[in-house]
Amino acid sequence: MRKTDYAFWTFLLMTGLAGATTLLNVTQTYSATSSQNSELYKQLDLFGDVLERVRSDYVEKPNDTQLIEAAINGMLSSLDPHSSYMSPKNFRDMQVQTRGEFGGLGIEVTMENGVIKVVSPIDDTPAAKAGLMANDLITHLDNEAISGLTLEQAVEKMRGPVNTPITLTVVRKGREQPFDVKVVRDVIRINPVKYHAEGDIGYVKISTFNEQTHANLVKAVEALDKKIGPNVKGFIIDLRNNPGGLLDQAIAVSDDFLEQGAIVLTKGRNNEETQRANAHAGDISDGKKIVVLINGGSASASEIVAGALQDHKRATLIGTRSFGKGSVQTIIPLGANGALRLTTARYYTPSNRSIQARGIEPDIVVAEAIPDDLKAKIGAEKPRGEASLRGHLINPDGTDNDGKNEESGSPSYVAKDADKDTQLQYALDFLHGTAKGPEAASNAPAGSTPAATPSTDSKNKGDNGTKTPPANDDKKPTPN
């Protein structure tokens, strides 16, 4: 046989073997996939059998929509505490929360004795222009009594399309008879950033991370710079009891104080899903000292900001250990059927540490003082964090699956009176260079981390609590 013929037949044989191997692999893969799908369909048949039995034999006629929603929620909640199904209404509410704007009246309200109480009207809103005042009681909406409604239901009735009217029946102290106030709804923006000057220090409170957060933070720092002038000592960024919000806003807020480097890394199931957000040149504080306040109610996006500024040594963290939510949820719309909130990634600080179920330890641990009348109550309660949630994701940096390296959170109560806010007062002393500590606080709650306290002659006294985020002191006012 000639060499050319030999080479030809050898090539043909090798090609045939390669084709047969490929076909075999494809067949095996298809067979495995088919087998997996077959098992899945059997499970779906089981679900269908159970559903039909419940619909036909349950003691009362069930609501089909509620049954399906409960089944979906059961599947998602078995994954982790933060994955869930949102009904169309809950999805709309979530969108309002993240946008930070809605059609409404412009008043913060709470429920008291079965009627709506106005906490305060928001400046330059329809409610303020209509003359509504703090402590007004609203008894009727469009001549329908509020009695029997929850606060959420009443707020939903007060919200609505822009330029539509609503009539409120108001009871006001000093007036004998109730009176009606007609208000036309307008676009109301929820401001997540509040600020004021504490002498030569700028104080900024960020309550959530919605679409307005970054822009309003920039405006707040500019306003404080203008008010305090060139002698500003620094800024306090208060993230206590901030439950989180939008990832892109957390990145933008971190970038506001950083010149370069990583802000956060997110890692999905597969390596190709890893993403890194980087800072850009430009510090809105012009390099001034930054203190970030955190506590057990600081979670998720708050921890991204705190972790980034801590890793870059751009800020000093003061307070107690944060909540410990180190995962990212993606909102997946389902058309007219609501949306899916699904955990799709873990996030890591710039130094590649995961705070999942551990939280962020502040640079200086400061626990608020506990008044005598609250010591017994708070001492009996255990602070809660991510690690205490059933089914939480295990920290990937841990050495075992028993949760031995996890932390249970920290107190999250903040004194309403700034003079009694131990953490705030310590931060002010720190920026002025007069802070003393750290030392163990004799009035720290049992099981708490050793705390730094203000100077011994300070009159600052505060409270500690054990609420999970969002941590509310009493009844949190609801804007509408």
The number of beta carbons lying within 10 Å of the beta carbon of residue 391 is: 11
Radius of gyration (C-alpha) of the chain in whole angstroms: 28
106: left (phi over 0), alpha (psi -120 to 50) or beta: left
Q: What is the rounded end-to-end Cα distance, in angstroms, of the chain?
A: 92
Tokens of 105: 């009246």
Catalytic (active-site) positions = 300, 311, 325
Q: Which residue's structure tokens are 């806003």? A: 249
Q: DSSP code of 272?
A: G
The number of beta carbons lying within 10 Å of the beta carbon of residue 41 is: 10
Per the document, the length of the chain is: 480
- Cα–Cα distance measured from residue 295 to residue 360, given in angstroms and rounded to the nearest whole number: 9
Query: Mind giving me the DSSP string for 350-384?
Result: TTS---TTT----SEE-PPP--HHHHHHHHHS---
Q: Which amino acid is at 266?
A: T
Q: Which residue's structure tokens are 């009844």? A: 475
Decide if 298 contacts 239 (C-beta within 8 A).
yes
Decide if 183 contacts 127 (C-beta within 8 A).
yes
